[in-house]
Structure 1
Amino acid sequence: MASLKEVRSRIVSVTSTQQITKAMKMVAAAKLRRAQDNIIRMRPYAQRLGSILANLSRLTDDSTSNVYAERREINRVLVVVITSDRGLAGAFNSNVLKAVNSLVNEQYSRQMAAGQVDFLAIGRRGHDYLSKRGSKLIGNYTHVFAQLSFDTVRVAAEYAMNAFRAGEYDQVDIVYNEFKNVATQIIRTEQFLPIQEHAPVVSATNTTTNTDYIFEPSKEQIIAELIPKSLKIQFYKAVLESNASEHGARMTAMDKATDNAGELLKQLKLTYNRSRQAAITTEILEIVGGAEALAASR
């Protein structure tokens, strides 16, 4: 059995840790509220713009080429990995990295063996993990979450778009956590480029409808301006989803850590009381034994 001093030291240490996890939970909750508001406001806009993007891509003909929808034989691939800058968020980062490994092993094993899979890491955890494994990293975007805004994310999106347009990559995928609620994050692996042509929209009456557009000022100008903007919005939405998911995961992890610290404190206090009671009992027995021995000697 541990000594009273050791148990007291552990109680002090666990109490300090519990206070830290409580504080981190409160900070994560405050950040989550803002991040959740941002992604809730972004989703309808991004979804509508994405729908328009898909329809424009479907309506594009040879006379109005869309370089972002060009399909080629997949030889070179860029995988965008969105993680967090910090840990203490449960399985938030490890789940993304597992999904990245599964994607590469299952879909791009040939390209990976030929050294034709590059990675663009947003977030320090993913960057450090891929760097240690010797993966080819493109650029350094670990600073994105320090001052998260559309302008900071736009730089990474433009790099991926320009590289695809220049023919450096034949496909660009994004792996990230989608925010569902505080306790649940869903791993998403999405094809960013080339643009996917979705099926016609099904209306409320269960009849398929094809969206027709009147282009003003011109079809070419709309495609030249709207499609790049829509792609950047979709990229930014993925980063916002990951940001909200990170704070939700950290809040949940710190809540569980606080509860575990409370349970451990209960056990330590029980151990302390038992040890203290045993020490008191031993002292009493020694006093009684000494008194009896003194009386017998008389």
Structure 2
Amino acid sequence: MASLKELRARIGSIKSTRKITSAMKMVAAAKLRRAQASAEAARPYAAAMRRMLGELAGATRGEDGAPLLLAGTGQDKVHLLVPMTSDRGLCGGFNANVHRLTVQTIRRLQSEGKTVRLLPVGRRALNFFMRDHADLIVDHVTGTSAKEIPFSVASGLGDKINALLEAGEIDVCTLVFNKFRNAMTQVPTCQQLVPMVVEETSTELEASNDVAQYEFEPDEATLLAMLLPRNLQVQIYASLLETVAGENGARMTAMDNATRNAGRTIDSLTQVYNRTRQTNITNELIEIISGAQAV
């Protein structure tokens, strides 16, 4: 049985830990409100961008010389996976879920005879894949846990992906990230970026007789050449915002659970401490009474 001194030390240590986890919970909650607002505000813009380009791409998808971001290279041999995680830990299974889904996707693609490349985003993703899949990493991006993520991060990442595509080093590019649902739920998601996936609603509208006819100025090919790189950056930026919101939500939940567990542990140790102290007092009284009776 632990001594009273050891029990007091353990209780004091856990109380200090509870103060830290409680403070981290409040900080994450404050950051979550802004991150959630940013992620939710970006969703309609990203969805509208996809729909607009889907409708615009209908006239050029089957033509020769279609942009690579739209039509791809025409092959399906080399896949680039872009797992997005946080730079820091202490957020429950938030990062592990992305790691797990990415590893499952790697194994599935390799079993189909495909070549896989990785471009980790976030220090946790980089550290994880450097252990077992270092030979697959072609580049990496860190610094995604900042209070405000500048659009330049998504722009630079989009330029890297576009450069790999134009160099013929990849055929397909897929994002792997946690889609924010609420503070307790983040859904691991795969989103294909290259070639761009046309929304089903756009295809249905093109087949409908009620679809409006538009004349584009400049022509569709010129517009696509300008807008497709921008769309790539917008989709990446929206995913980064989802990742930041999910990270703060997961950290707030994890720290809340840690604070509750610390409180329960303190209560349990306090009971053990009181019982041990009472036992020691009782033994001392027995010894005093026995000594007095012996005299």
TM-score of the superposed pair, with normalisation by structure 2: 0.92
Instruction: Give the corresponding residue for 2:243.
Output: 242
Structure 1 residues 157 and 228: alpha-carbon distance in aligned structure 2, compared to 1, 3 A threshold:
same
2:34 is aligned with 1:34: yes
2:282 partner amino acid? T
Task: Output one character per residue of 1:226-261: Cα deviation in whole Å (capped at 9) or x when no partner.
Answer: 121111101111111011000000000000000000
In structure 2, C-alpha distance between the alignment counterparts of 1:94 and 1:212, rounded to whole Å: 47
2:89 is matched with which residue: 87, 90, 108? 87
Offset of residue 64 of structure 1: 6.6
Aligned length: 288
Q: Structure 1: 5+ residue runs without aligned partners?
A: none
2:165 partner amino acid? F
Write the mapping of 1:208-223 to structure 2, written as runs, cut at 5 A: 210=211, 212-223=213-224
Q: Structure 2: 5+ residue runs without aligned partners?
A: none
In structure 2, C-alpha distance between the alignment counterparts of 1:182 and 1:150, rounded to whole Å: 24
Structure 1 residues 56 and 108: alpha-carbon distance in aligned structure 2, compared to 1, 3 A threshold:
farther
2:277 partner amino acid? R
Write the mapping of 1:71-150 to structure 2, written as runs, cut at 5 A: 71=72, 72-111=74-113, 116-135=115-134, 136-146=136-146, 148-150=149-151
1:201 and 1:210 in contact (8 A); partners too: no
Instruction: Give the corresponding residue for 2:12.
Output: 12
Q: Which runs of 4+ in 1 moved over 6 A?
A: none
2:110 partner amino acid? Y
2:88 and 2:145 in contact (8 A); partners too: no
Offset of residue 138 of structure 1: 2.1
SS of alignment partner, residue 200 of structure 1: helix
In structure 2, C-alpha distance between the alignment counterparts of 1:85 and 1:111, rounded to whole Å: 32
Write the mapping of 1:1-298 to structure 2, written as runs, cut at 5 A: 1-60=1-60, 61-62=62-63, 65-71=66-72, 72-111=74-113, 116-135=115-134, 136-146=136-146, 148-201=149-202, 210=211, 212-294=213-295
SS of alignment partner, residue 191 of structure 1: strand
Offset of residue 75 of structure 1: 1.5
Offset of residue 182 of structure 1: 0.4
SS of alignment partner, residue 65 of structure 1: coil
1:131 partner amino acid? M
Q: Structure 1 stretch 62-71 or stretch 10-19: which is displaced more?
A: 62-71
SS of alignment partner, residue 120 of structure 2: strand
Structure 1 residues 261 and 213: alpha-carbon distance in aligned structure 2, compared to 1, 3 A threshold:
farther
2:149 partner amino acid? L
1:79 and 1:118 in contact (8 A); partners too: yes
2:51 and 2:198 in contact (8 A); partners too: no
1:201 and 1:209 in contact (8 A); partners too: no
2:76 partner amino acid? I
Offset of residue 110 of structure 1: 4.3
Task: Output one character per residue of 1:17-37: Cα deviation in whole Å (capped at 9) or x when no partner.
Answer: 000000110111111111111
In structure 1, C-alpha distance between the alignment counterparts of 2:274 and 2:292, rounded to whole Å: 27
Offset of residue 58 of structure 1: 2.5
In structure 2, C-alpha distance between the alignment counterparts of 1:46 and 1:102, rounded to whole Å: 27
SS of alignment partner, residue 86 of structure 1: coil
Structure 1 residues 209 and 249: alpha-carbon distance in aligned structure 2, compared to 1, 3 A threshold:
farther
In structure 1, C-alpha distance between the alignment counterparts of 2:110 and 2:56, rounded to whole Å: 29
Q: Structure 1 stretch 62-71 or stretch 218-227: which is displaced more?
A: 62-71
SS of alignment partner, residue 144 of structure 1: coil
Offset of residue 117 of structure 1: 1.4
SS of alignment partner, residue 175 of structure 2: strand
2:88 partner amino acid? R
TM-score of the superposed pair, with normalisation by structure 1: 0.91
2:46 and 2:238 in contact (8 A); partners too: yes
**Percent of matched pairs sharing the same residue:** 38
2:119 and 2:137 in contact (8 A); partners too: yes
User: In angstroms, what is the RMSD of aligned CA positions?
Assistant: 2.0
Structure 1 residues 209 and 247: alpha-carbon distance in aligned structure 2, compared to 1, 3 A threshold:
farther
1:105 partner amino acid? R
1:201 and 1:208 in contact (8 A); partners too: no
In structure 1, C-alpha distance between the alignment counterparts of 2:102 and 2:209, rounded to whole Å: 35
Structure 1 residues 197 and 209: alpha-carbon distance in aligned structure 2, compared to 1, 3 A threshold:
farther
SS of alignment partner, residue 82 of structure 2: strand
SS of alignment partner, residue 250 of structure 1: helix
1:202 and 1:209 in contact (8 A); partners too: no
